[in-house]
Amino acid sequence: MASATVNPDLQKERQRATFDADQLTYFLYDGPANTRRKRYLQNLAVQETEKYKFRPIATLSQEQQYEQALMRSFISGQLEDRLELKNAKELSFLREAVAPQVAVPYGLHMSMFMNTLETQSTEEQKARWLPLAKSFRMIGTYAQTEMGHGTFLRGLETTATYDAKTKEFVVNSPTITSIKFWPGGLGKTANCCIVMARLITRGHDYGMHPFLVQIRDLDTHQPLPGITVGDIGAKFGFNSNDNGFLRLDNVRIPRDNMLMRYSQVLEDGTYVKPKNDRLTYGTMTLIRSNIVGGAARSLSMAVTIAVRYSAVRRQSEIQPGAGEVQVLDFQTQQMKLLPLVATAYALTIASRNMAAFYLRVRQQIEQGTLEELPQLHALSAGLKALSSWQATEGIEACRLACGGHGYSHASGLPKLYGTGTPLVTYEGENTVMMLQTARYLVKCHGALQQGQKLPSLMKYLEQPPGGSSGLDPRLDLSDLVTAYQHRAARMVSDVSAKLMSAASQGQKPYAAWNSNSVELVEAATAHSEAYVVKSFVETVSTFSGKLCSVMETLCRLYAVRGILKSLGEFMQDGYINSQQAKMLRSCLADLLAEVRPNAVALVDAFDFPDAVLDSALGRWDGQVYQALYDYAVNSKLNEKQVLDTYHKYQRPFMESQWKKNTTVAVPARL
């Protein structure tokens, strides 16, 4: 539906903004020129995709969803070739607009498979495989998780046993629980995969290593002998992706199909150790750091939908008789949505810093320096978990904040939730990731006790315990950062003390760890939140003028809301006192009121085209009712006035009921 007019409430919202939303858009997309380029690419993608008149994905069967996703990738491929796109960011904008929130079957090929080949293969292997993978002759996936194990990688059962006589590995799934399960694109799309299997040579088990295994004929696409492969069936969401299962029955692959950049098996079966055996986990670290940005983007879409709709939706009165208000004027609605707008920006900024840190450490690793690897692992694991939890909860809160219409697929919010919520589970289940971060924090605390210096991101743990916060109604940003760091340092210190005390009482470390794991997760969450707040504060301090003051307010809102949510943790050692808690509560109300006039401009700045939001409620022009009505009218059930099922089941049912009471007189009209 094309609408010439913009809803007047939305128009007013845009006029009353106190800053220029374009300036914020330029920050998000790295300047005016890149923003123009992004808009150009996304407009082109939308125009091209509209020609296909795709039906809403939620109305399709699993097979139709899969087909539509492949068609969308086909369209994207054509455009990418026509425009000769190479730049990763430009490709991601184009693909986002061609397949908005559609889990495409090539996703794993383009991310984990390619990355594993690039980072874990030798130069010779790269020369052999990368041209095939880049030209989609090889379509791969990353097959690590098995039915029985996803988290505990040392428990994987798939084996790759070296046969020195034939110079081959024999890859085998010995049990039902060893069947590879879940890999994206594995079921029907991929013709090969990186199989993560336990390497056995000369009778010794060296644990998980990557192997390239061809699973389908490159021409006929039929599964090869020894391979049983298929789709795992309908899921909570993600149904356009053929997540698959794979059973390997003593499949033989050449020795040099083991990815040998870090560890090798020589022809005679000798195993050569890597410099650090955690380098095999490198692809997971990359994707975890990417997930932070993905989570931020999904939440940004959800808040754009919910805030625009809340500006358009008028329901109930505040002042009796004065007319119905925009629901965004209710303080409770502001409380639901505005901290989430702040969260979307906080996570977006944290993800940029995370990506920069990843690149820096990756470059060091390429040069053989592994010093910062533990820090990178701890940060990426913690931020992956924090961002995906906050985004998933936030998307659902946005749906609830849209009332009844939020429940319709027309809102776009169920689709966002369906593709967003697996982020909590895949690439490392969140609780498990937080425990990895906690493990590092406890180690750092131990190092500190022994007088060692801590690495850059952990320096704040060095601050002395105790003290009290200087927070006052001015809400100085540095006081907020210090409060978050103090709380995290205190929690790390408390839980470390508990672990040490358990040890001194003779409790085994593993038992002490488990019986304190709730607190460990809380400490890791506090650490990750401190990083996000610090990143937010440091970044807004680089802004100037009106934009700076708007973003500082947003930053305060994020930080204050977070403190009030976990108030006990900030007050436990008296760092924040009850007067300050009271003060923060009233500051929160003030901050909501301060952000309110800029709410629409803040979400407009994300610059999502309507087709990317794919939402009747989040439209830029605010013509939500017409769009909802069009969506309803186009429901498949409305294609015929009287359906065949009326004659097949409804009428016979009604007649069977009539027979029970034949005395009722039925008029021609009611």
Ligand X SMILES: CCCCCCCC(=O)SCCNC(=O)CCNC(=O)[C@H](O)C(C)(C)COP(=O)(O)OP(=O)(O)OC[C@H]1O[C@@H](n2cnc3c(N)ncnc32)[C@H](O)[C@@H]1OP(=O)(O)O
State the nearest-atom distance from the C-beta of 274 to ligand FAD, in Å: 21
**Element at 180 (helix H, strand E):** strand 180-181
Place of tokens 């940004």: 300
Strand, coil or helix: 481: helix
Residue among 13, 146, 372, 427 flagged as catalytic: 427
Beta carbon nearer to ligand X, 107 or 622: 107
Minimum CB separation of residue 129 from ligand FAD in Å reads 19
Residue 63, token pair as written in the block: 């097979």
Binding partner at 377 among ligand X, ligand FAD, none, C-beta below 5 to 8 Å by kind = ligand X
The 151-190 contact track toward ligand X, x by CB under 6 A, reads: xxxx-----------------------------x------
From the list ligand FAD, ligand X, none, which binds 56 (C-beta under 5 to 8 Å, kind-based)? none
Backbone angles phi, psi at 592, to 5 degrees: -60, -45
Burial state string for 32-58 with b = 16 or more CB within 10 A and e = fewer than 16: eebbebbeebbebbbebbeeeeeebbe
Q: Which of 284, 526, 537, 599 binds ligand X (CB under 6 A)?
A: 284
The interface partner of residue 281, options being ligand X, ligand FAD, none and the CB cut-off 5 to 8 Å by kind, is ligand X
Binding mask 340-379 for ligand X (x = CB under 6 A): ---------------------------------xx--x--
Contact window for ligand X (CB under 6 A) among 129-137, 146-154, 170-178, 248-256: 146-154
Using alpha carbons, select from 259, 254, 246 the residue that is nearest to residue 162: 254
The tokens for 462 are 């060095």
The pair of structure tokens assigned to 467 is 């003290």
Q: Which of 13, 96, 231, 427 binds ligand X (CB under 6 A)?
A: 427
CB 189 within 8 Å of CB 246 = no
- Interaction partner, residue 550 (ligand FAD, ligand X, none; CB < 5-8 Å by kind): none
Binding segment (CB under 6 A) for ligand X, from list 147-155, 248-256, 576-584, 632-640: 147-155
CB closer to ligand X, 7 vs 285: 285
| Whole-Å CA distances, 594 to 332, 397, 503, 555, 599 | 15, 21, 50, 12, 9
Q: How far is the CB of 323 from ligand X (least distance, A)?
A: 48
Which partner in ligand FAD, ligand X, none is near 373 (CB below 5 to 8 A by kind)? ligand X
Q: How far is the CB of 649 from ligand X (least distance, A)?
A: 42
In this complex, which beta carbon is closest to ligand X, that of residue 116 or of residue 300? 116
* CB neighbourhood size of 98 (10 A): 29
- Of 105, 237, 428, 622, the one binding ligand X by CB under 6 A: 428
107 near ligand X, rule: CB under 6 A:
yes
371 burial type by CB count under 10 A (0-12 exposed, 13-18 middle, 19+ buried):
exposed
197 binds ligand X (CB under 6 A): no
Contact 327, 333 (CB under 8 A): yes
Query: 243 is in the binding site of which of ligand X, ligand FAD, none (Cβ under 5 to 8 A by kind)?
Result: ligand FAD
| Residue among 128 and 443 whose Cβ is closer to ligand FAD | 443
Based on the shown chain and the rule CB under 6 A, indicate whether residue 439 belongs to the binding site for ligand X. Answer: yes
Contacted entry of ligand X, ligand FAD, none for residue 437, CB cut-off 5 to 8 Å set by kind: none
Q: Which does 93 bind (CB under 5 to 8 A by kind): ligand FAD, ligand X, none?
A: none
Q: How far is the CB of 551 from ligand FAD (least distance, A)?
A: 34
Q: Please indicate if the annotation marks 184 as binding a ligand.
A: yes
Q: Which does 431 bind (CB under 5 to 8 A by kind): ligand FAD, ligand X, none?
A: ligand FAD
**Residue 145 is assigned to a ligand binding site:** yes
Own/partner pairs, 518-522, CB within 8 angstroms, 24+ separation: 519/491, 519/494, 519/495, 520/434, 520/435, 520/438, 520/442, 520/495, 521/431, 521/434, 521/435, 521/438, 522/491, 522/569
Cα within 13 Å of Cα(402), Cβ side: 30
- Which residue lies nearest ligand FAD, judged by its C-beta? 150
Which has the closest alpha carbon to 211: 175, 166, 265? 265
**Which of 39/149 has CB closer to ligand FAD?**
149
The CB-of-119 to ligand FAD minimum distance in angstroms stands at: 16
Residues 226 and 251 sit within 8 Å (Cβ to Cβ): yes
CA pair distance 222, 229, nearest whole angstrom = 10
Residue with tokens 């929690």: 491
Q: Is 527 in the site for ligand X (CB under 6 A)?
A: no
Which residues form the interface with ligand FAD (CB under 6 A)?
108, 141-145, 149-151, 182-184, 238, 243, 422, 425-429, 431-432, 435
Complex with ligand FAD: residue 282 or 428, whichever CB lies closer? 428
Q: Which residue has the tokens 């789709």?
A: 231
DSSP classification of residue 18: S
- For 84-135, the three-class secondary structure string (H helix, E strand, C coil) is CCCCHHHHHHHHHHHCCCCCCCCHHHHHHHHHHHHHHCCHHHHHHHHHHHHC
**Residue count (the chain):** 670
CB of residue 359 to ligand X, shortest distance in Å: 16
Which of 174, 167, 116 shows the shortest CA–CA distance to 140?
116
**Is residue 418 close enough to count as binding ligand X by CB under 6 A?**
no
Q: Output the six-digit token pair for 617.
A: 């409620």
Q: For this structure, is 427 an active site residue?
A: yes
Contact (Cβ atoms closer than 8 angstroms) between residue 389 and residue 521: no
Give the pair of three-digit tokens for residue 60.
């399709």
Among 128, 188, 235, 278, binds ligand X (CB under 6 A): 278
We find the least distance from the C-beta atom of residue 185 to ligand FAD, in angstroms, to be 8
CB of 334 to ligand X, least distance (A): 34
DSSP string, 603-629: HHTT---HHHHT-SSS-TT--HHHHHH
432: contact with ligand X by CB under 6 A: yes
Report the residue number, 190 or 576, with the smaller CB distance to ligand FAD: 190
Q: Is the dihedral of CA 253, 119, 143, 517 positive or negative?
A: positive
Determine the Cα–Cα distance for residues 81 and 195; give it in Å rounded to an integer: 30
- Count of residues engaged in binding ligand X, rule: CB under 6 A: 26
Q: Which of ligand X, ligand FAD, none sits in contact with 238, Cβ below 5 to 8 A by type? A: ligand FAD
* Shortest Cβ 421–ligand FAD spacing (Å): 9
Q: For the beta carbon of residue 112, count every other beta carbon within 10 angstroms.
A: 24
Q: Give the residue from 377, 388, 520, 376 showing the smallest Cα distance to 445.
A: 520
Q: Please, which residue, 278 or 314, has the CB nearer to ligand FAD?
A: 278
Query: Which residue's CB is nearer to ligand FAD, number 242 or number 604?
Result: 242
Kindly list the catalytic residues: 427
* Interacting residues with ligand X (CB under 6 A): 107, 111-112, 142, 144-145, 150-154, 184, 278, 281, 284-285, 287, 373-374, 377, 426-428, 432, 436, 439
Cite the annotated binding site for FAD by residue number.
145, 184
